[in-house]
Structure 1
């Protein structure tokens, strides 16, 4: 297998031309049927900083999850905003849950931030007294599901706190840990005359507060977060050949990890962070290897003449899923690390690649092609084998799962540019995260940060 053919297989859906980089902008493309109506309001406070600054972020977070449909403040009657207590009238708006919040100034750049989460229907069914037709609930009454207060908060931390509040609300209402306080990494490329400038960036999961970690006039590929979210492994062509580096997210320091002849690609961290699965072609065709990071000991997992690439670990660290053309067309296989025994996993569709596993190990998320030239994000139930197509765009790539397994972040095409997409794991909620001034690709969703 010639090196250029192997690189083509590894990179065909990755090295798309891009434009300039900027913050990402959430756009809902298809709302989730059955999303729960919810309201987020600001209480009056003694601060010149309104809780609305936090409320708007919480609304966007809950909307992004696909499970909730926050009311626009413009759709809430003035009387409700002036007195944001839980009212029987909320049911007329279809609201099931209400969040109220307040910010109190403590002096200097320090504030106390509080919020309450109410269940409107639970409150009424509990028989709380009505006063002049209004159902009034205070903290401690049965309708209050969650009430929290955060002290000594600086205004600079409001966005981070808002994501934390969203996590608390999401988990309280769904039983699933929220992932709004996580980060995403991705690749941006800016045309610079007859060159392109590649950037590895990290931002909040909603695309805000982007941080450029690395710039290069040579391609940067395949960012992969360590389990503790402190490091990112990635592929760089800065020295005119593929090499794998480790990047310290806090300091920006880099460490060269591999520079074998040929392909060095597709790094994937083991669950215990002690090893990286990667793709090397130093001895011929691209194969899956496991590198012990501390000792630099290298173990070859797959053999033969096929192209094996895109490894991902099972949650227990005992096996690797990967893409291979050993059956003639790209399909997903599973290799036991200890025995190196390989078995085929996907059989539906003529092309399946880029495997990712949910944290519980029950579902495989992948690029799936059932129609020539059309690539979707799909999931496969690893118990039943059922395959479900999650997206309806035509050129989807690079799926990455949220750490709670509820959302899939992926790259796709929108007009003449590349954007990031978000889809719920059941395929019912869809969003786009295009860069406001360009395009973006190869997303990687971080683990939980704490």
Structure 2
């Protein structure tokens, strides 16, 4: 069995940031997700980051001593390093140096399953590498074989270190991705034409978005093969999944599961995943899923709001779904507007969440009565499937129904309204 790589994590607390401790904890979890064993931590309070070595000279010496004592393979930094910082730190420490961005890129490359996600991750990875070719040369050469960005072997570096080849590769990947983007846009256009509301699940990574989707699929008797992958880990979902949720009163909406956000989400990834994240900006409504059991949940809400703002999706009507309430000991306040408290895992509060979705998504519904002639069975059949029929009577002229239907269907079948 191959031995796990060992690392020290390092971070600068700029001007006493409130969330610094949480950010370092998250870096530890990101390293664990890449199967790297974290054996130590170096932190420093600074007013500004050292331009040449990120940490101050004293801390760099301290790090060098720790490396010798602990038999460490690498140092992982909590911010994105510049090309010159990577070169200088590697020269000073004599070991591999990587940053938070590389960890996130590596997790994405391991988890990407669909062609679109794989293309997006590779574009982001190459864009990160391009300005860092000199600094990455020795680092990549020292790495062991294996999957992912962190573990790429020296056999691949000859191709990767040719700037022109990387630029050509990025252009080729963009072209491939463009074809898939056009397909996605075409699918979205068709969905818009049906006038079925689109509801997107958004939130911090591992907040429980996929669990909510599966709870809804289960609650409304969709087949189990419609369920999406869910797991208690960072970035379990990179693919956008869309499912149609049909309610007992024949109303239906499309539910979209999206990639989770994280603080300091690399701009290369936001850019590369823009086509996927457009599902969010074009939704009619957002469900902002919050892991209520996480002590840093307020900060996670802010990170998600900032990312939504960057995507131009900050003005879409939003319901806050405070998830994992089964893990919370304190008293839960339940009177806030546009907030629902749920446990997706235990399927509690899902009905309340659906009620809130209905209040916001189905405003354009009309109550009326229609008399459908007996020779218009196709119209009656359509309304039975797509409207909420309150009562049905049969008389000599046809079928008299009292119903609630979409405004579009009301206009379409206005000739039958009485």
Larger radius of gyration: 2
Tell me which protein shows more helix as a share of its residues: 2
Using the size of structure 2 for normalisation, the TM-score is: 0.27
Higher RCO, Cα 8 Å, sep 6+ = 1
Using the size of structure 1 for normalisation, the TM-score is: 0.26
Tell me which protein shows more strand as a share of its residues: 1
